[in-house]
Amino acid sequence: MKELIQVKNLSKTFSLSAKQQKIEGTREKRKTAVKGLSFTAYEGEIFGLLGPNGAGKTTTLRMLATLIRPDSGDAIIDGSSVLSDAEEVRKKIAFLTTDLKLEGFFTPNYLFDFFSELYHVPKETIKERKEMLFRTFGIDKFAEVKVANLSTGMKQKVSLSISLVHWPNVIIFDEPTNGLDVLTAKVVTDFLLELKNQGKTVIVSTHIFSLIEKVCDRVGVIINGEMAVCDSLKQVQAGMALEDRFFEIYKESVGDTDE
Amino acid sequence: MNNSVLTIMKKELARFFGDKKVVFSTILLPGLMIFILYSFMGSAITSQYTVEEDYKAGCYIKNLPDDDTLQMMLNENFSFHTVSSDEEIKQAKKKLQQKETDLCVVFPENFMENIAEVFPVTSNALPPEVQIFYNSSETASETAYQTMSGILNEFEGILSNRFDINKSDGVAYDLAKKEDMVGSIFSSMLPMLLLIFLFSGTLAVTPESIAGEKERGTIATLLVTPVKRSHIAIGKILALSIIALLSGASSTVGTILSLPKLMAGAGELDGAVYSVTDYLLLALVILSTVLVLVTALSLISAYAKSIKEAQTFATPLMILLMLVGITAMFGTGAKEELYYYCIPAYNSVQSMVRIFQFDVTTNTILVTVASNIVVTFAGMFVLTKMFQSERIIG
Ligand SMILES: Nc1ncnc2c1ncn2[C@@H]1O[C@H](COP(=O)(O)OP(=O)(O)OP(=O)(O)O)[C@@H](O)[C@H]1O
Ligand SMILES: [Mg+2]
């Protein structure tokens, strides 16, 4: 199997403003969100990043998507380095996270065309792909409604389909089912499996155990910015329910540290 | 032009023109407001200092001479009552004080007989005296006084016609050119006004487009696409410049149309004295100025965390621009030294002064436009770097 995504020793430290220090309940001026994180995702698999709030999942994925630069380490995505070849990486991936908003003034239809043009997708392909994605997520009914007037779940569906305008081989989704009801969440998880069937490589981050159990081939558990365990789902579970196993892992790794 | 730049521009323009209210308030409203305001101010000023044309001043006259020519001249300009007693004159003066009438004239008795005699300047005997009472705190009375003195002087001239002044028709005695007047008024007022209009147009859209996108998290969505940061910067600056230009154009048209009314007291003000070339050069200067303003505000907006912050940061810039604009009102014409035309904003003001004073030189315009374009490119470069910085965007 081809190692499509290689993450090597990624680290990221943020400097905290006074306000952020208060929120974090710390007097430290700096916060290391990701510490020497490494993992590999193989072509055609769904890789899950599991971790509690603040573990560093979003920060890791933002580095993979070239939105922020790692302080040290590198990641190679389908042969391109996030450090030296950011533009190439951006062409090869789809990235979805709650921080990426769509302009409320425009309709899903307009935005789909706009982003397709930015990726230089040919005109006929745009039309076909839009029909397919809008049908999958039921967006056709509100394709001409301004995004500002859509519900959270509808917005998430639109963001999802727009992140795929260029139909890339690597798909990086941060909490793709967040804020969705069970029906819509199922549409999304089914869609992730469909992407896998089409040979795409998918990385999802989540703190929802059932999502990992349903779709992931392999999983990495992040705690406090470090990779606690990273293996196939079966190996990580070790015959237990993922949730129970997670608490064990959590205890082990937090026990490991100075607390 | 590059495809992505065009796509970004198209989206910016669609965002702006898709919102009818915003279009109305940034493009139509400024021009309309300025036109109405200036026209209103103009007519208010005019009516304060002039008297209506068909108004005939009221006038009391004692001992009106029995002369047809004089009476005809008076009839044309005054509606007058003749009185005979001193008591009536006393009453008339009271009315004058209370602004109920405009003038009160007392001729000496036997005026026509007495003036037949010639009084050489050297003689001790005094000629008959006409007294005109008026009230200078009332414009109509003041004007009536001028008219009456004029009529009497003319009448005196008719009686002893030794020579005339400026009597022949069809000779232009006033040699001041219409251009000089228009030039001095336009060149002292318009540069500052134009600079402010262009800046407010820019301020209406730039923070919204850059700081606003940051604030709402929509710029990050753009940044995960493979579009070059420089293309985003160029696309935004060009689209915003088009909008700012339209807004500035509307204010300018409003001003030029209403300026003649505002300056009504100063005679005829007509923008038609400028040639097409003058207007084209003006457009060139304005265009390059808009690029500089949009770039400056884009940088401020990219640095700011929110629209509000961007607007706050822009206030000192606005004050600075006003001060630079005011320099056009003072001093003796435009600067000659070319290096003045390298300073953004100041170079625009100086170039506009030259254009309005019919004093354009190719060099100054070239240096102005070139240095503005250089500044714009430098700004685009910095903006690109800012879009790459996670401290700004992250
Ligand atoms: N821009 C930033 N500035 C300062 N601190 C940050 C920044 N981004 C993230 N952090 C901090 O880094 C840590 C990891 O955050 P991150 O968002 O990666 O966690 P997460 O695993 O995605 O959590 P969640 O499940 O809540 O989304 C947190 O403590 C967070 O406060
Ligand atoms: Mg997160």
All domains of chain A in start order, with CATH: 3-100+169-254 (3.40.50.300)
Which residues, numbered 94 to 153 in chain A, qualify as contacts with chain B under a Cβ-Cβ cut-off of 8 Å? 95, 99-106, 110, 114-115, 117-120
Write the residue in A100, A114, A119 that is nearest to B11 by C-beta. Answer: A114
Q: Which ligand places an atom closest to the C-alpha of A31?
A: 1
Q: What is the CA radius of gyration of chain A?
A: 19
Compare B113 and B13 and report the one with higher pLDDT. B13
**How does pLDDT run across B270-324, given as a tens digit for each residue?**
666 788 888 889 889 999 999 999 999 999 999 999 999 999 999 999 999 999 9
Lowest mean pLDDT among A236-250, B40-54, B248-262: B40-54
Cα A177 to Cα A184: distance, rounded to the nearest angstrom: 8
pTM, two decimal places = 0.80
Average pLDDT of the residues in A118-124: 95
Which comes out higher in pLDDT, residue A145 or B334? A145
Contacts of A67 in chain B (CB under 8 A): 220, 223-224, 390, 393-394
> Which chain A residue has its CA at the smallest distance from B209's CA?
A103
Tell me how far the alpha carbon of residue A33 lies from the centroid of ligand 1, in angstroms: 6
**Does the pLDDT at position A259 exceed 60?**
no
Model confidence at B257, pLDDT cuts 50, 70, 90, reads: confident
pLDDT of residue A158: 96
On the question of pLDDT at B94 being above 70, the answer is yes
Strand, helix or coil for residue B311: helix
By C-alpha distance, the chain B residue nearest A89 is B226
Mean pLDDT score, B231-237? 95
**Cα A185 → chain centroid:** 15
**Residue A110 Cα, gap to closest chain B Cα (Å):** 9
User: Is the minimum distance from the CB of A56 to ligand 1 under 6 angstroms?
Assistant: yes
Ligand 1, atom 28, lies closest to the CA of A54
ipTM value:
0.90
Q: How far is Cα A192 from Cα A216, in angstroms, rounded to an integer?
A: 10
Task: Please give the residue that has the higher pLDDT: either B180 or B100.
Answer: B100
Closest by alpha carbon to B202, among B298, B106, B77?
A: B298
**Measured distance CA(B349)–CA(B189) in Å, rounded:** 10
What stretch of H or E contains B82?
Answer: strand B78-83
**What is the rounded CA–CA span in Å between residue B82 and residue B97?**
19
- In tens, the pLDDT along A177-235 reads 988 889 989 999 999 999 999 999 999 999 999 999 999 999 999 999 999 999 999 99
Angle between helices B276-303 and B362-388 (to 10 degrees): 20
Percentage of residues in chain B with pLDDT exceeding 90?
41
Q: What is the pLDDT of residue B270?
A: 66
Q: Which ranges constitute the DSSP H helices of chain B?
A: 3-17, 20-23, 29-49, 68-77, 86-97, 111-115, 139-159, 178-216, 218-223, 229-262, 276-303, 307-326, 346-356, 362-388, 390-393
In chain A, the largest separation of any two C-alpha atoms, in whole Å, equals 59
Nearest CA to ligand 1 atom 27: A53
Q: A74 forms bridges with which residues in the sheet?
A: A8
**pLDDT for the residue B35:** 87
Give the closest of B7, B18, B218 to A101, CB-based. Answer: B218
Residue among B7, B18, B216 whose CB faces A117 most closely? B7
Question: A117 CA distance to ligand 2 centroid (A)?
Answer: 29
Distance CA A218, CA B112 (A): 125
* Cβ proximity of A9 and A35 under 8 Å: no
Candidates B1, B223, B225, partner chain A, best to mutate (most A CBs within 10 A): B225
The pLDDT confidence band at residue B269, using thresholds 50, 70 and 90, is low
- Tell me what pLDDT residue B178 has: 65
The pLDDT, as a whole number, for residue B344 is 93
Nearest CA in chain B to A172: B224
Contacts of B220 in chain A (CB under 8 A): 67, 99-101
Report yes or no: B81 at the A interface, CB cutoff 8 Å.
Answer: no
Tell me yes or no: is domain B57-160 CATH 3.40.190.
yes
Residue B144 scores a pLDDT above 80:
yes
Other beta carbons within 10 Å of B210:
29
In this model, does residue B51 exceed pLDDT 60?
no
What pLDDT is recorded for position A198? Answer: 94
pLDDT of residue B331: 66
- Which amino acid appears at position B18 of this protein? G
Per-domain boundaries in chain B: 3-46+178-393, 57-160
Interface with A, mutate which of B221, B232, B391 (most A CBs under 10 A)? B221
Distance between CA atoms of residues B357 and B138, nearest Å: 38
Edge-to-edge strand order for the sheet containing A46-50? A93-96, A170-174, A201-206, A46-50, A218-223, A226-232
Name which of B75, B279, B221 is nearest A158 in CA terms: B221
pLDDT band at B48; cut points 50, 70, 90: low
| β pairing state of A46-50 and A201-206 | parallel
Q: What is the pLDDT of residues A32-56, one digit of tens each?
A: 999 999 999 999 999 999 999 999 9
